[in-house]
Amino acid sequence: MRVALVIERFENAAGGGEQVAWNVARELVRAGDDVHVLCREGADAPGVRVHRLGAPRFWQPVRVTTFAHRVGRELTREHYDVVHAFSKAYGPDVFHVGGGSHADFMEKTYGARGARWRRLSPRHRTLLSLERKMFETPDLIGQCVSHQVRREIAARYGIDESRLPVIPCGVDTARFAPENQGDARDEVRCEFGLGDETVWLFVGSGWRRKGLDIALDALAKCADSRALLWVAGKDDPASWRALAKRRGIEDRVRFLAERKDVERLYAACDGLLFPSRYDAFGLVCLEAAAAERAVVVSADAGASELFEDCGRVIQRAGDPTEYARAMNDLSNPQTRSDLASRARSMAAEHDWSGHVARLRDLYAEVQR
């Protein structure tokens, strides 16, 4: 097939849509497809033809609108068997709904009143308008990363669920496999001066939405006074350090900034704490599972659907006491190990090659 992937930035980034698009492109090439990427800016990748359409880098409303229109114009000039968009654009056949409904994201992140207020901003108005116009296209297929996302999109835009297939994200099982980490666990723990303390890892950017305040409160309530929390991701740690100090746990929290070697952190920690207020999926949960680590995840993250039998899913997603209870239960190494082993078996069923095999079946349906 001649496939076009649409993404604003095409690069092997640490997370998000960029990482998904990069891995999909790689696996499509391996499957023998003619793969083109339409992007604003991007890196070269083996076997992939990258078309840099450009767009202003400043002010998101101008940037995303310009890019969406340039993709639409490009698609009138070139023919592709299937166009799969990972960024909002005009003219794709399939849209990767990796961020969920933007309106639901706003309401769950900021509350109903905050969401109404933020709708006045040009940024949110632009994103909501683009999303609405895309889903008004009668033949667009919305590839949802979770059933949670499918329910949101179907309810908000009145779309039949037959147009909203669920294909969860994939994971690089080899990259995160414990046997491929060498001595990373001992090295990282030695670097931080640790022994056998239980270490919980929090990974992600945009810490309020990801629920870092909930994680800090859970750590403060945890019965194991030696348990630690590592925070990796992009955000300003100043206010969060202050919160940890107010909770009396500042010496048990380490801020690691954004890391390119997150697989080493998974190897060194004992479990992932993911108390997100809203996530269409939450790829870090699959990464932790592939690394054979226990996962405690909010029910408001789409990835939680995969962890009903191999993780701890917190239904009262904003309640730190519930997370603390799960952390207490998993302070037992054997309980933690049994759960992590089941999680790894689940992750093995969601590698990128399997993900793209399902996408190619969807592409064939689109062609028909």
Residues 193 and 95 in one domain: no
Query: Quick one: 363 and 320 in the same domain?
Result: no
Mean pLDDT throughout 303-310? 97
Q: Is there a single domain that holds both residue 129 and residue 110?
A: yes
What is each CA distance from 219 to 83, 201, 280, 324, in whole angstroms? Answer: 45, 11, 25, 7
Q: Which residue has the higher pLDDT, 55 or 359?
A: 359
- Number of domains observed in the structure of the chain: 2
Judgement on whether residues 284 and 362 belong to the same structural domain of the protein: no
Can you give the pLDDT at residue 105?
85
Closest CA to 45 of 26, 20, 17: 26
pLDDT value, residue 14:
56
Mean pLDDT lowest for which of 109-118, 144-153, 202-211, 243-252? 109-118
Strands 253-257 and 9-10: unpaired
Round to whole Å and give the CA distance between 17 and 24: 10
User: What are phi and psi for residue 128, nearest 5 degrees?
Assistant: -65, -40
Query: Do 142 and 236 have their domain in common?
Result: no
Q: Are residues 32 and 20 in the same domain?
A: yes
CATH number at residue 190: 3.40.50.2000
Q: Which of 52-56, 60-64, 120-124, 177-181 bottoms out in mean pLDDT, i.e. has the lowest?
A: 120-124
Q: What is the pLDDT of residue 116?
A: 73
The pLDDT value recorded for residue 244 is 98
pLDDT tens digits, residue range 123-134?
888 888 999 999
Residue 295 pLDDT class (50, 70, 90 cuts):
very high
16 & 104 share domain: yes
Residues 249 and 145 in one domain: no
Whether the CB-CB separation of 343 and 289 falls below 8 Å is answered with: yes
Mean of pLDDT values over 248-270: 95
**pLDDT band of 119, cuts 50, 70, 90:** confident
As a whole number, mean pLDDT of residues 308-320 equals 95
Specify the pLDDT at position 13.
74
Quote the domain boundaries for residue 251.
173-348
Residues 67 and 51 in one domain: yes
Question: What's the pLDDT score for residue 122?
Answer: 85
CB count in 10 Å sphere of residue 42: 21
What number is the average pLDDT over the span 41-58? 92
Reported confidence tier of residue 35, pLDDT bands at 50, 70, 90: very high
Q: Are both 57 and 91 inside the same structural domain?
A: yes
pLDDT for the residue 59? 86
CB 93 within 8 A of CB 83: yes
Instruction: Provide the CB-side half-sphere exposure for 51 (13 A, CA).
Output: 15
Distance in angstroms (rounded) separating the CA atoms of residues 324 and 224: 10
Q: Where do we find the tokens 């998974």?
A: 266
The answer on 242 and 150 residing in a single domain is no
Q: What is the pLDDT of residue 11?
A: 92
* List of residues 6+ apart from 61 with CB closer than 8 A: 122, 123, 125, 126
Give the tokens for residue 260.
């390119």
Same domain, 91 and 191: no
